[in-house]
Amino acid sequence: MNPKSLTQQIKTVSIWKRGDKRAPHKPLLLLLALARVARGEQRLTPFEVLYSELEDLLINFGPQRKSYHPEYPFWRLQNDGNFWEIPEREKAIAARGTRVRKGDVPKNVLVEVKANAGFCLEAHQVLQQNQGLLFQIATYLLEEQFPPSMHEDIFAAIGMPRAYKRLGDLINNDFRSTMLRIYERRCCVCGFDGKLGNATVGLEAAHVKWRKAEGPDAPENGLLLCNFHHKMFDRGVMGITLGHQITVSQHLHGGERVKELILQFSGKRYHPPQNGFPRIAEEYIKWHSEEVFRFPARHF
């Protein structure tokens, strides 16, 4: 297996889709595996370890769901090429019997057979010998699934070595310029309007429906936010209602600074764009509410 073949296989991994709902299960599992290679750990990892770590990532960075099923990507990555290996595959299939539909193996069976998984030996060696390729693949997975405001947090969560450097920011400069102009160069949550000399600093154009989910670079899908509130918005700590009020997740907790920086804005309207420009479209608010915001919301 050569670097080009491995890269192509990972880039063409099948990801479950239903409309524009997010399903980052396989990309997050691959990121966990890549981080293990980067740290020089053993090639194969027990199912129970990967299950626990992937579940935490899905809870923290994936869309809110009633259940997460990390066993599915653990097993199904075998079908996306020849780079993912489960040595106990045949044992698990035999133990599965007719208890579930063909193609799936439940959690209890994977535990029972003490399943392990990871990159196959050839793929593992390619990644070990080419750290640049490893980080390039990891960056691709991040940029395909998550906005730039979340990249550092995800890399910290998976334990990726700090040698990683972000290779690019996908924010369209024209979109940012438009957001700066129509929101009058201030955060539409807290009003921050910092400048360094004549240059605006600390303000970012935020997509309500992420570009990764085909959200457009358009005023009706954009907010101007300071760095901090952009990250809180993309992590689902904050959201907006159809009535254009700021909403905050009940899962957020902390001391006086949390009240000062976030909770005080709950129930307030965000600063609107200049007259003549649209507010956020209902379809994009609904997407963010369903796929990003951490329900339930605090009462105003």
298 found inside a domain: no
Shared domain check, 73 and 190: no
Model pLDDT for residues 33-60, shown as the tens digit of each residue: 999 999 999 999 999 999 999 999 999 9
Shared domain check, 279 and 188: yes
In whole angstroms, what is the distance from residue 98 CA to residue 115 CA?
19
pLDDT of residue 281: 98
Shared domain check, 265 and 210: yes
Full-model pTM: 0.85
Shared domain check, 213 and 84: no
pLDDT of residue 167: 41
Burial of 139 (C-beta count, 10 Å sphere; 0-12/13-18/19+): middle
185 found inside a domain: yes
Model pLDDT for residues 187-225, shown as the tens digit of each residue: 999 999 999 998 899 999 999 999 989 999 999 999 999
Arithmetic mean of pLDDT over the chain:
93
Altogether, the residues listed in the chain come to a count of 300
Q: Which two tokens stand for residue 27?
A: 């990309």
Over residues 135-157, the mean pLDDT reads 92
Percent with pLDDT over 70 in the chain:
95
Domain range for 130 is 3-158
**Is it the case that residue 170 has pLDDT exceeding 60?**
no
Percent with pLDDT over 90 in the chain:
86
300 found inside a domain: no
In whole angstroms, what is the distance from residue 75 CA to residue 107 CA?
10
